[in-house]
Amino acid sequence: MPNSRKPVMAEHGLLPSRVAVALLHHPVYDKNRQVVTTAVTNLDIHDIARTARTFGLFRYYVVNPVPEQQALTERIRLHWLEGWGAGYNPRRKEALELLRVMPGLADAISDLTGEFGEHPLLVVTGARADGAVTTVAQLQDIMAGNPDRPCLLLFGTGWGLTGEIFERADIALEPIRGCGDYNHLPVRAAVAIYLDRLFGRG
pLDDT along the chain (202 residues), means of 10: 47 79 97 97 96 97 98 94 76 93 98 97 82 91 94 96 94 91 90 96 76
Rg (CA), the chain: 16
Tell me the residue ranges of DSSP E strands in 64-150: 99-102, 121-124
List, in order of start, the domains of the chain with CATH numbers: 16-199 (3.40.1280.10)
Write down the pLDDT at residue 13.
58
Q: Which residues contact 156 (CB under 8 A, 6 or more apart)?
A: 23, 24, 28, 125, 126, 162, 165, 187
Q: How far apart are CA 86 and CA 83, in angstroms?
A: 6
Write down the pLDDT at residue 6.
45
Show the 3-state SS of 183-199: CCCCHHHHHHHHHHHHH
Write down the pLDDT at residue 90.
83
pTM of the model: 0.91
Write down the pLDDT at residue 192.
97
Write down the pLDDT at residue 82.
85
Helix (H/G/I), strand (E/B), else coil: 35: strand
